[in-house]
Amino acid sequence: MAQAYEARTRLCAAHGWPESAVEIVPVLASGDKVLDRPLAEIGGKALWTKELDGWLIENRIDFSVHSMKDVETIRPEQIAIAALLPRADVRDVLVGAGSISQIPPGARVGTSAPRRAAQMLNLRPDLTVVSFRGNVATRLAKLQTGEAEVTLLAAAGLQRLNESGIGRPLDPPQWLPAPAQGAIGIECRVDDEATHMALAAIDDAPTRAQVMAERALLLALGGNCHSPIAVWTRGDGDLTMTARIFSPDGAVKVEAEATFAAKSDGPAELARQLLADAPDAVAVHFAGSQA
Ligand SMILES: NCc1[nH]cc(CCC(=O)O)c1CC(=O)O
């Protein structure tokens, strides 16, 4: 909802519209309904877009607002990513300890994200990962009740909830975010030219360059919610991308870095390099290119 309000504010400001020109229709995603199992188990990312995609295609809404981290790499052909809002803080924050090295030996890390679990176990093999789902408030409550000592959350999500005081940001290159983390995307029907044009006015070019490159990397890796992929991209016209893939237990980490032009096949090339360098223990978790 915070993302939807931000999208409305930017859209109305760009066109001089009153906020009443945009009606916000809350739609509960299945990912928010099923909270007792890890996302990877119940079907992954489509859980965040399925309902809204249906509403959009059936003309019940004119555009939908998503956290791009939750949007699958292959979209329905009727749907266009019409705008990407200026990217917020891409970092994860650590809650429950002042730094990764200060986490008590053998502590439990609450997370259901394969990327966060593998990345943490790679740095701290002594830790134990426990499954942690739900919204920010639920996850923080689980820390309070002692289900885990530490957890990881996206800084962008906390900022949108006015909770940016929580936790310690984890800086790249030690800790890398998820593909498209911190970016809000707005989608409309491909054939709705008026809405597409209205939304194009608030599209942020550097964010689009980075997010599309990260989505291209994910696609070329054949990545999904079961595959721990972390990536950090900086730049605009020329992008520098650092990408890591892990074995689920964090024991193996493969890294590659490259600088390439936006919209080039740089991300696919980087993906090929990662998969070529990955031992079978890691590569087996990826479908390879053309996923
Ligand atoms: N469904 C998880 C999810 N998807 C997007 C965000 C945060 C906002 C963002 O990264 O844009 C979160 C919460 C989290 O990872 O802590």
Q: Would the pTM count as exceeding 0.90?
A: yes
Does residue 57 share a domain with residue 188?
yes
Closest Cα to atom 9, ligand 1: which residue? 182
Does residue 191 share a domain with residue 58?
yes
67 lines ligand 1 (CB under 6 A): yes
Q: Which of 143, 169, 195 is the last residue of a domain?
A: 169
Does residue 154 share a domain with residue 124?
yes
Find all residues with CB under 8 Å of 176, minimum gap 6, and list them.
119, 230, 231, 232, 242, 243, 244
- Please give the pLDDT value at position 155: 98
- Please give the pLDDT value at position 37: 74
- Please give the pLDDT value at position 31: 75
70 lines ligand 1 (CB under 6 A): yes
Closest Cα to atom 7, ligand 1: which residue? 157
Which structure tokens are listed for 225?
């919610």
What is the domain range of residue 59?
A: 1-86+183-203
Does residue 77 share a domain with residue 11?
yes
Does residue 214 share a domain with residue 246?
yes
- Please give the pLDDT value at position 44: 61
**CA of 284 relative to ligand 1 center, distance in Å:** 26
Ligand 1 atom with minimal separation from the 39 CA: 1
Question: What CATH number corresponds to the domain at position 188?
Answer: 3.40.190.10
- Please give the pLDDT value at position 118: 97
As beta bridge partners, residue 109 has: 129, 150
Angle at 183 between CA 181 and CA 189, to 5 degrees: 125
Q: Which residue, chain included where needed, has tokens 């070529």?
A: 276
Closest Cα to atom 11, ligand 1: which residue? 182
- Please give the pLDDT value at position 172: 98
In order along the chain (291 residues), what is the average pLDDT of each group of 10 residues? Answer: 97 98 93 72 75 96 96 95 98 98 98 96 98 91 97 97 95 98 98 98 98 96 83 96 96 97 98 94 71 34
- Please give the pLDDT value at position 225: 61
* 290 domain residue, yes or no: no
Closest Cα to atom 1, ligand 1: which residue? 70
ipTM, two decimals: 0.90
* 245 domain residue, yes or no: yes
Name the nearest CA neighbour of 278 among 288, 268, 291: 288
Q: Enter the DSSP assignment of 69.
A: G
Ligand 1 pocket: which of 42, 67, 142, 158 to mutate (most atoms <8 Å of CB)? 67
**CA of 94 relative to ligand 1 center, distance in Å:** 14
Does residue 15 share a domain with residue 154?
no
**CA of 12 relative to ligand 1 center, distance in Å:** 25
Does residue 272 share a domain with residue 210?
yes
227 lines ligand 1 (CB under 6 A): no
Does residue 232 share a domain with residue 115?
no
- Please give the pLDDT value at position 288: 56
**CA of 245 relative to ligand 1 center, distance in Å:** 19
Three-state DSSP state, 151: strand
Query: From CA 248, how far away is CA 98, in angstroms rounded?
Result: 25
Does residue 6 share a domain with residue 82?
yes
Catalytic residue among 32, 53, 70, 249: 70
Does residue 107 share a domain with residue 223?
no
Does residue 79 share a domain with residue 6?
yes
Annotated active-site residue 192? The verdict is: no
Name the nearest CA neighbour of 223 among 289, 270, 124: 289
**CA of 87 relative to ligand 1 center, distance in Å:** 13
Does residue 164 share a domain with residue 112?
yes
The total number of structural domains that make up the chain: 3
